[in-house]
Chains A and B, each alone.
Chain A
């Protein structure tokens, strides 16, 4: 079945460091791909998405490119801030889901940014 694999955390960085969180997926066809973020004490919220191969999603300085050839959707940010400390979830929406919108999540990667 469809699945998402993320790099294990926690990822600990100093402020202004470069961030990469790896995400790969297994799915039939071309699913839509997402990154959701969960800040402490809050619900998950959409960070960015890409719906077809070679699309780049971006938001708040974060970027991820849909790579069909490597089945990947790695999250990157050039300069992280303390406020980026959160848990990041990669997710996919299967192409064939009976016509209904559903999300399959990875295990999440905790990011801790220190001043």
Chain B
């Protein structure tokens, strides 16, 4: 079974530039997550989709970050403009969880995109 695919693997940009990350979840997984992992910290949830709808974006800095999952499959996370503090690994994860199920479904993670903002 193919895992969660993310690209690019690495990205280096200057502050105030824009950047986009792409994620293709495991086939059939309804729930997709974007996490931000700053060096030395645990992953922090940025946004969670159920199919193509947003169910939690409470920690997404909406003035500069945006994300979409238009057809309920792959997803794009964008940062515009980037700041130095956005340097982190951006992780995409997916889960077969659907609303109404027990909230302890396993998440499958991609390898992440490492972003360096100079």
Q: Which residues of A contact B (CB under 8 A)?
A: 4, 32, 34, 36, 41-46, 49, 51, 89, 91, 93-95, 97-108
Contacts and interface: CB of A to CB of B under 8 A. Distances in A.
Contacts of B55: 98, 100
Interface residue range, chain B: 20 to 34
Interface stretch (B64-72, B73-81, B101-109): B101-109
B103 A97 contact: yes
Contact of B109 (A44, A93, A95, A97): A44
Given A99-B100, A101-B104, A45 B109 contact: yes
Contacts of B106: 46, 49
Interface of B: 3-4, 31, 33, 40-45, 48, 50, 55-56, 91, 93, 95, 97, 99-112
B111 A4 contact: no
7 contacts: A41-B111, A49-B106, A89-B42, A93-B103, A102-B48, A103-B45, A107-B40
A94 B56 CA distance: 13
A50 B108 CA distance: 17
A64 B96 CA distance: 24
A106 B42 contact: yes
Most buried by A among B31, B33, B43: B43
